[in-house]
Chain A
Amino acid sequence: MQRRTRAFTGLFLTAPLLAFLLLAYVLPFLGVVRWSVTLPEPGFSQYRKLATDPLALAVLIRTLRICALVTIAATAAAYAIAYVWVRGTPLQRRLAELCILIPFWISVLTRAFGWLALLSNRGLVNTWLQGLGVLAEPLTLVRNEFGVVVGMTHFLIPFAVFPIASAMQAIDGRVLLAARGLGAARLRIFWRIFVPMTLSGIVGAALIVFVFALGFFVTPAILGGGHSVMVAELVYLHMFQSPDWGLGAAISVALVLVVGLLMGLLFRFARPAGLRASR
């Protein structure tokens, strides 16, 4: 009797969101999958094209290269600032928190625009360098791959900070004191004890950054300026500029498969807090 009430309550309360997402998300996604095998003609021709077309392959390789660079840069930078956020003096911690949270809450558009303001031909960096007489001609810092990597790293650092900081918080300070008591030097404690103990946070952060970077659209579109097209922008181009919906859909399906694989890895290393909480 009680079991049945409980099951009924669970069903009744969870049904609205489940039904909503089923109708508004899963079914339309199946529609996209159908596009990928029916447009322009039935069959897997779009997937074959995706695997053999030199342009699509070039975009794929560029995407992986950019994602790898961004993952390394953002995870390393996040580690440095998370360290001060978790272990600094109260003032240092407050300053680090502001430096992480202010960019985190500001929209991706504003942040990409900030990099344009800084790096474009008439931006701050070029104006200063030319004013100092260091440069005769402005350096091309955006509308290329460099700009995309910088902008994406900037966007993703806060997302990498959270898993790393929670791994650092979980460390028992007495372990570090014990190491010190046994005569280990500062650097040795950091590299041999502290970093290995936060490995799960590092792996989690790197996977989150990589997954987010893979399907990124806004920052590459603005800072790449069409010269450094990534997978997501390729989908956009196939939807709106030179319509080939079948190919766009095929790329989307392939992206979902890759992300699914990576998320499987993530769950092996670090379970997101939300899921752990539901247990």
Chain B
Amino acid sequence: MSANRPGAAALATAAVVAAFLLLPLLAVVPISFTPARFLTMPKGSWSLIHYRELIANPDWGRSVLLSLRIGVVSSLIATVLATLFALGIWMARPRLSALLVGFVLLPMIVPPIVSAMTLYFLLTGLSQLTGLVGYDTWLGVVLAHVVMIAPFAVVLILVALAGVDRRIDLAARGFGATVTQRALRVILPNIRFGVLMAGLLAFVLSWEEIGVTLFITSVNAITLPRLMWMGVHDNIDPAIAAVSVVLIALTTIALVGRMMLHRTQA
């Protein structure tokens, strides 16, 4: 095994790819300290005005709170629906299971632009029935996000279920456990980590969702990515660099922390 470690050429190529992957993330750091109002390098003088802007301008705080609320609600709904679905597939093993799973994975496979148009159609239609769930409302965004993130939760939970030994379920059934008991007391405890990861992934996906959100919101339901979009696309605002630095730092801390945790466990 050790005889087949990557050689110098393989390591050098991988290092180039690694640099390519990390460079744009590092590039936002100096930009975020520019004193200018436009995207430029801080030449000599560094400033914190864009970080102060994040606190001073209430739009940022409001959009973070809205994104958190939408993320929590939509990931909870998506995880519950996905868990029920995956349990049904695993316990009943219907003959059409491949078809059913393929069907619920559709929003993951169909191009986001098509999903965006579809959900725009749905929400503008709902707007005419009720003002509560519709175009440019927070519940409308929740509805759209559940559609988009549920397939990812289904995949993660199915993978977790694939690791469960069917014999424990058989034993429970042999002892006369009901379907509910089997699901809640036997299977779920065995996949709780997978369900947790599915919920976490669903939350992160909702928190960053922009491809669909862009189409179904305008002035009221401004999520954090929607606000960032305006700062990147419509006019380039260095405050985006400050937000990006905060987000990159959080992600890096979480991943390095997870890695350290795994090392101490191993």
Task: Determine whether B202 belongs to the interface, using a CB cutoff of 8 Å to chain A.
Answer: no
Kindly state the separation between the CA atoms of A122 and B214 in the bound complex, as whole angstroms: 28
Complex: chain B residue closest to A24, CB-CB: B147
Kindly state the separation between the CA atoms of A102 and B215 in the bound complex, as whole angstroms: 27
Task: Determine whether B1 belongs to the interface, using a CB cutoff of 8 Å to chain A.
Answer: yes
Q: Is the CB of B155 within 8 A of A154?
A: no
Chain A 12-39 interface mask (CB, 8 Å, partner B; 1/0): 1111111011001111110110010000
Task: Determine whether B56 belongs to the interface, using a CB cutoff of 8 Å to chain A.
Answer: no
Select which of B18, B85, B117 is within 8 A of A252 by beta carbon.
B117
Give the interface size class of chain A.
Answer: 35 or more
Q: Is the CB of B259 within 8 A of A97?
A: yes
Chain A 58-93 interface mask (CB, 8 Å, partner B; 1/0): 000000000000000000011011011001110010
Kindly state the separation between the CA atoms of A153 and B113 in the bound complex, as whole angstroms: 19
Q: Chain B nearest CB: distance from A226 CB in Å?
A: 10
Task: Determine whether A100 belongs to the interface, using a CB cutoff of 8 Å to chain B.
Answer: yes
* Most chain A beta carbons < 10 A, residue from B28, B102, B106: B28
* Interfacial chain B residues near A272, Cβ < 8 Å: 155
Q: Is the CB of A273 within 8 A of B159?
A: yes
Task: Determine whether B81 belongs to the interface, using a CB cutoff of 8 Å to chain A.
Answer: yes
Task: Determine whether A236 belongs to the interface, using a CB cutoff of 8 Å to chain B.
Answer: yes
Q: Chain A nearest CB: distance from B99 CB in Å?
A: 10
Q: Is the CB of A232 within 8 A of B89?
A: no
Kindly state the separation between the CA atoms of A103 and B21 in the bound complex, as whole angstroms: 7
Interchain Cβ contacts within 8 Å, total number = 311
Q: Is the CB of B251 within 8 A of A102?
A: yes
* Interfacial chain B residues near A101, Cβ < 8 Å: 255
Q: Is the CB of B27 within 8 A of A154?
A: no
Complex: chain B residue closest to A120, CB-CB: B39
Kindly state the separation between the CA atoms of A96 and B104 in the bound complex, as whole angstroms: 33
Number of interface residues of B (CB under 8 A): 100
Task: Determine whether B181 belongs to the interface, using a CB cutoff of 8 Å to chain A.
Answer: no
Task: Determine whether A124 belongs to the interface, using a CB cutoff of 8 Å to chain B.
Answer: yes
Task: Determine whether B138 belongs to the interface, using a CB cutoff of 8 Å to chain A.
Answer: no
Q: Is the CB of A114 within 8 A of B3?
A: no
Name 14 extra pairs, CB < 8 A, besides A10-B93, A20-B81: A17-B150, A29-B118, A83-B6, A100-B21, A106-B248, A109-B228, A109-B229, A113-B244, A154-B21, A157-B17, A158-B21, A256-B114, A275-B102, A277-B159
Which chain B residues have a beta carbon within 8 Å of chain A's beta carbons? 1, 3-7, 10-11, 13-14, 16-18, 20-25, 27-28, 30-31, 38-41, 81-82, 84-85, 87-94, 97-98, 100-107, 109-122, 125, 143, 146-147, 150, 154-155, 158-159, 161-162, 179, 183, 204, 208, 210-211, 214-215, 225, 228-229, 232-233, 236, 240-241, 243-244, 247-248, 251-252, 254-256, 259
What are 19 A-B contacts defined by CB distance under 8 Å?
A6-B91, A16-B85, A20-B146, A25-B122, A29-B118, A29-B121, A31-B125, A80-B16, A84-B10, A99-B18, A110-B25, A110-B243, A118-B27, A215-B113, A239-B120, A272-B155, A274-B158, A277-B162, A278-B101
